[in-house]
Amino acid sequence: MGNDRYLYGQKVKAYLQRGARRLPGFAQFPNPQVGYGALCVENSLPG
């Protein structure tokens, strides 16, 4: 069915970090104010 059989906590975290949308006005990511940016589930999940 195309599901990831080895999806676990660290892998989910990596997907969400990779798909985060960068916010304007911040040069460095991750940073203490906004972390990795805004959550974007559409960009985070492969497929």
Q: pLDDT band at residue 10, thresholds of 50, 70 and 90?
A: very high
CA 15 to chain centre: 5
- Residue range 15-42, pLDDT digits in tens: 899 999 999 999 998 989 999 999 998 8
Claim: this prediction has a pTM higher than 0.75: no
Domain regions of the chain by residue span: 9-44
In the chain, which residue ranges form alpha helices assigned H by DSSP?
9-19, 41-44
Cβ atoms within 10 A of the Cβ of 23, count?
A: 14
> Quick check: 2 pLDDT over 80?
no
Cβ atoms within 10 A of the Cβ of 20, count?
A: 19
Q: What is the pLDDT of residue 6?
A: 86
